[in-house]
């Protein structure tokens, strides 16, 4: 395997992580969707390079699938949702940006530590990127916690899916095709349901603020 | 083989048929018919496994052994009885204007799809497809929970989706790690996620990776099992969705999630050669039992209370499997069966009771026995059964779990006994005035379907007095496979 390819994969991995950071600090929903699309592109590129290096044709297929789903279909759906709901300039976060960033850095260090014993053992070229994938998952997780609006929560959810997908490609050259198709289908159906949900929540509460959804408590 | 295909095909076709025909008056009967078909196919499959031993079908894509065949039958059975229960229930809901034809169409179609995803999760041999099926089951039930479109049901469904979505995403990460470990031993020529193949090479899987993989798989599927502290979605989803959905969520989905955890546990035990998986199950199980018992005592909503009771019992089951060994595993499997039967019976009775009273608040439901003795008795007997009164089956399994715990982990028994005591006092103290006393409830236009309630309670009673030999055979084989 060429040095260039490894460098390329590392580059895309870094881009994915950087975009995850950008997402947790971004407050505008429209920019958030753009960042998500960019992350999708980086993911597709990384998958394609891994596919080229390892000569695993099914990785091209999964790269194509990701492109279709994460770069075209889902951003398109999200754009339509925010246009119909008119929430483009929402500014909200439960914690301020510097604190978020600091917590994010701690999470990344934690993820790298967790993945280190495994990365050393991994035979695959991109084994070292497992830490990055795990960091992305944790960062998206945090994004879902600190955001109080429905759309950013959903984007956080999708970004987590990106991190998982990256873990699958980089650590194992992709899961078996049937599993990957199943996952793609679940993601697609999930996002459709969430879209429907957002309209229902809006209809019910006249807002997409998740803080309305805190009525059910154990009393 | 044909039976297996039928088990999977009937609910899938049923879902499509019910979605395309739209809501007609006969849709609820069609729903029952498809559930009956699934149940008969499951019986045929069971007969085939009993006579011919474990079955690998379709290029090893499906694997049926004593562990999952009993869950397949249970799932198909409770699916059938719940569909019978939902006929009069949904008619009343329609009269009350809570269900429109469009919602009924969604409900019936998703009901069948949900059955399909659960059966798929149980029968597949592929750990990746197991994940896909579990996620699909979440998606199908999210729509069922939010079917009333009220503020509370939307909140419950959103919480359910996000929490279980995150949980199940972590399980996917665990699956990726599992594949990573397996690929080194089995190669990437497919097959590295097939459970049967993993089982044969489990001792050679890398322990470092498997430890991390199990942690993620456990958190992920544990969220769906409803183990504390990942249980937040469960009471809301149970309380706000339609009651038939609460019955299948509690009686079936939690079992299927537990099944996924067990499959992972077997691999982890083999790879690590230590008791890590068992300890985790035991610890989280014990916390769930205790926390749920105390939350239970603070509930005002009847469905929420029984949802917490489900968390408690799933905790007990997790604890039993964590203990491991032939007796505790046997008790765990028995407890899964009786809990599923009794809890769904309770939800059936509760469903009729809340419809009669027009509320789910326990303080407003009084004197059921005067208006409808059968519903009242069903609820009373069901509560006694779930609280572990002899001679019901829950008593037998709890007794086995407790005695094993006393022998192997004596420190845990005071906690378990305390939790069971608290649960008993709070549930019994609340159900008693609901059943007896002065009445405030009105009779309903459609007579309730009480056959499922008493059928389930009867089976629960039978399992407490006498477990048929072939069932003992299954349980023993499955318990041996689970090891520990």
Q: What is the DSSP string of A200-218?
A: HHHHHHSS-BGGGS-----
What is the predicted pLDDT for the residue at B78?
94
Residues of A in Cβ contact (< 8 Å) with B240: 216
Rounded Cα distance, B484 and B479, in Å: 9
Q: Which of A62-76, B275-289, B343-357, B365-379 has the lowest mean pLDDT?
A: B365-379
In DSSP terms, B55 is beta-bridged to: B64
Q: Which of B155, B165, B188 sits opposite A190 (nearest CB)?
A: B165
What is the predicted pLDDT for the residue at B325?
86
B447/chain A closest Cα distance in angstroms: 32
Contacts of B2 (CB under 8 A, 6+ apart): none
Query: Closest by alpha carbon to B66, among B484, B483, B472?
Result: B472
Q: What is the pTM of this model?
A: 0.92
The total number of residues shown for chain A amounts to 219
What is the predicted pLDDT for the residue at A58?
82
What is the predicted pLDDT for the residue at B190?
63
Mean pLDDT of B302-319: 93
> Does the distance separating the beta carbons of A167 and B188 come in below 8 Å?
no
- Looking up tokens 């050259």 gives A173
Q: Which of A56, A164, A176 sits opposite B169 (nearest CB)?
A: A164
Q: What angle do CA A194, A196, A200 make, to 5 degrees?
A: 110
pLDDT of residue A120 exceeding 80, the answer is: no
What is the predicted pLDDT for the residue at B209?
86
> Does the distance separating the beta carbons of B132 and A118 come in below 8 Å?
no
A179/chain B closest Cα distance in angstroms: 5
> Does the distance separating the beta carbons of A175 and B128 come in below 8 Å?
yes
Q: What ipTM was assigned to the predicted interfaces of this complex? A: 0.88
Chain CA centroid to CA B361, Å: 24
Structural Rg of chain A based on CA atoms: 18
Task: Provide the chain B residues 413-452 that lie in CB contact (below 8 A) with chain A.
Answer: none
In DSSP terms, B63 is beta-bridged to: B56
Q: Is B181 helix (H, G, I), strand (E, B) or coil?
A: helix
> Does the distance separating the beta carbons of A161 and B155 come in below 8 Å?
no
**H/E segment holding residue B326:** helix B325-357
Angle between helices B469-482 and B66-95 (to 10 degrees): 110
Mean pLDDT of B372-378: 87
Q: Which of B149, B295, B304 sits opposite A200 (nearest CB)?
A: B149
Instruction: Judge whether B126 is closer than 8 Å to chain A, CB to CB.
Output: yes
pLDDT of residue B43 exceeding 60, the answer is: yes
What is the predicted pLDDT for the residue at B258?
94
Residue B3 is encoded by which pair of tokens?
A: 């039976």
What is the predicted pLDDT for the residue at B347?
93
Which residue on chain B is closest to A143 by alpha carbon?
Answer: B166
> Does the distance separating the beta carbons of A175 and B193 come in below 8 Å?
yes
Query: Closest by alpha carbon to A95, among A137, A136, A148?
Result: A148
**H/E segment holding residue B57:** strand B55-57
B471/chain A closest Cα distance in angstroms: 34
Instruction: Judge whether B149 is closer than 8 Å to chain A, CB to CB.
Output: yes
CB A138 within 8 A of CB A129: no
> Does the distance separating the beta carbons of A123 and B184 come in below 8 Å?
yes
CB B163 within 8 A of CB A216: no
Q: What angle do CA B438, B442, B444 make, to 5 degrees?
A: 145
In DSSP terms, B126 is beta-bridged to: B194
- Looking up tokens 């008795």 gives B377
> Does the distance separating the beta carbons of B151 and A215 come in below 8 Å?
yes
DSSP annotation of A210: G
Q: Across the A/B interface, how many CB contacts are shorter than 8 Å?
A: 131
> Does the distance separating the beta carbons of B151 and A205 come in below 8 Å?
yes
> Does the distance separating the beta carbons of B139 and A190 come in below 8 Å?
yes
Confidence of residue B473 (pLDDT cuts 50, 70, 90): confident
Q: Which of B129, B142, B304 sits opposite A193 (nearest CB)?
A: B142
Q: Which of A52-61, B177-186, B444-453 has the lowest mean pLDDT?
A: B444-453
> Does the distance separating the beta carbons of A176 and B135 come in below 8 Å?
no
pLDDT of residue A84 exceeding 90, the answer is: no
Which residue on chain B is closest to A213 by alpha carbon?
Answer: B155
Q: Residues B132-138: contacts with CB within 8 Å, 24+ apart?
A: B132/A179, B132/A182, B132/A183, B132/A185, B132/A186, B134/B168, B134/B171, B134/B221, B134/B224, B134/B256, B134/B257, B134/B260, B135/A183, B135/A186, B135/A190, B135/B168, B136/A186, B136/A189, B137/B253, B137/B256, B138/B164, B138/B165, B138/B168, B138/B224
CB B127 within 8 A of CB B198: yes
Neighbours of B448 (CB within 10 A): 24
Confidence of residue A124 (pLDDT cuts 50, 70, 90): low
Residues of B in Cβ contact (< 8 Å) with A160: 166, 169
> Does the distance separating the beta carbons of A179 and B139 come in below 8 Å?
no
> Does the distance separating the beta carbons of A179 and B132 come in below 8 Å?
yes
> Does the distance separating the beta carbons of A197 and B161 come in below 8 Å?
yes
pLDDT of residue A126 exceeding 60, the answer is: no
Which residue on chain A is closest to B304 by alpha carbon?
Answer: A218
């Amino acid at each position: 395997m060429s040095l260039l390819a490894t460098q390329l994969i590392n580059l895309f991995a870094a881009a994915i992580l950087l975009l995850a950071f950008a997402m947790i600090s971004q407050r505008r929903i429209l920019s958030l969707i753009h960042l998500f699309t960019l992350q999708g592109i980086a993911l597709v590129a990384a998958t394609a390079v891994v596919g080229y290096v390892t000569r695993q044709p099914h990785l091209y297929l999964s790269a194509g699938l990701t492109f279709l789903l994460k770069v075209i279909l889902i951003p398109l759906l999200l754009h339509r949702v925010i246009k119909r709901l008119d929430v483009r300039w929402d500014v909200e976060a439960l914690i301020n940006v510097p604190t978020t960033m600091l917590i994010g850095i701690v999470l990344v260090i934690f993820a790298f530590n967790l993945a280190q014993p495994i990365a050393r053992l991994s035979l695959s070229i991109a084994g070292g990127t497992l830490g990055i994938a795990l960091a992305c998952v944790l960062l998206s997780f945090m994004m879902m916690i600190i955001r109080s609006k429905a759309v950013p929560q959903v984007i956080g959810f999708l970004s987590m899916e990106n991190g998982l997908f990256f873990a699958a490609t980089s650590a194992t050259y992709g899961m078996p095709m049937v599993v990957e198709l199943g996952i793609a289908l679940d993601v697609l159906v999930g996002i459709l349901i969430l879209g429907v949900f957002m309209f229902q929540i809006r209809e019910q509460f006249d807002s997409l603020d998740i803080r309305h959804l805190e009525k059910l408590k154990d009393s | 083989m044909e039976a297996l295909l039928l088990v999977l095909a009937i609910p899938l076709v049923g879902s499509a048929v019910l979605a395309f025909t739209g809501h007609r008056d006969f849709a609820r009967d069609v729903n029952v018919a498809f559930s009956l078909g699934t149940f008969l196919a499951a019986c045929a499959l069971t007969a085939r496994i009993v006579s011919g031993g474990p079955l690998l079908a379709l290029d090893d894509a499906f694997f049926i052994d004593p562990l999952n065949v009993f869950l397949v039958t249970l799932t198909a059975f409770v699916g059938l009885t719940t569909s019978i229960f939902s006929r009069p229930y949904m008619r009343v809901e329609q009269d009350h204007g809570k269900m429109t034809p469009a919602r009924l169409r969604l409900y019936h179609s998703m009901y069948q799809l949900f059955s399909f995803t659960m059966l798929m999760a149980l029968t597949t041999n592929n750990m990746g497809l197991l994940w896909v099926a579990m996620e699909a089951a979440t998606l199908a039930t999210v729509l069922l929970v939010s079917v009333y479109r009220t503020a509370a049901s939307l909140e419950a469904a959103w919480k359910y989706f996000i929490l279980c979505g995150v949980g199940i995403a972590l399980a996917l990460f665990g699956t990726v790690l599992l594949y990573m470990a397996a690929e080194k031993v089995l190669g990437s020529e497919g097959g590295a996620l097939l459970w049967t193949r993993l089982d044969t090479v489990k001792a050679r899987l890398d322990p470092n990776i498997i430890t991390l993989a199990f942690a993620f798989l456990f958190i992920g599927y544990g969220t769906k099992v409803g183990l504390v502290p990942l249980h937040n979605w469960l009471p809301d989803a149970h309380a706000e969705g339609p009651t038939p959905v609460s019955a299948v969520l509690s009686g079936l989905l939690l079992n299927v999630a537990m099944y996924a955890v067990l499959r992972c546990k077997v691999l982890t035990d083999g790879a690590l050669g230590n008791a890590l998986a068992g300890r985790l199950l035991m610890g989280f199980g014990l916390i769930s039992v205790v926390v749920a018992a105390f939350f239970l005592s603070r509930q005002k909503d009847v469905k929420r209370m029984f949802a917490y009771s489900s968390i408690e019992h799933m905790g007990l089951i997790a604890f039993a499997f964590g203990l491991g060994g032939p007796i505790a595993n046997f008790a765990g499997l028995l407890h899964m069966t009786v809990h599923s039967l009794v809890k769904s019976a309770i939800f059936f009775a509760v469903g009729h009771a809340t419809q009669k009273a027009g509320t789910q608040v326990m303080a407003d439901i009084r004197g059921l026995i005067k208006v409808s003795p059968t519903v009242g008795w069903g609820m009373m007997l069901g509560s006694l059964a779930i609280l572990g009164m002899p001679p019901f089956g829950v008593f037998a399994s709890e007794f086995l779990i407790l005695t094993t715990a006393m022998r192997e982990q004596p420190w845990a028994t005071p906690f378990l006994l305390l939790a069971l005591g608290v649960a008993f006092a709070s549930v019994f103290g609340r159900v008693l005035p609901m059943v007896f006393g002065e009445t405030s409830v009105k009779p309903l236009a459609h007579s309730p379907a009480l056959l499922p309630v008493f059928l389930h309670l009867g089976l629960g009673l039978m399992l407490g007095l006498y477990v048929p030999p072939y069932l003992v055979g299954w349980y023993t084989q499955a318990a041996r496979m689970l090891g520990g």
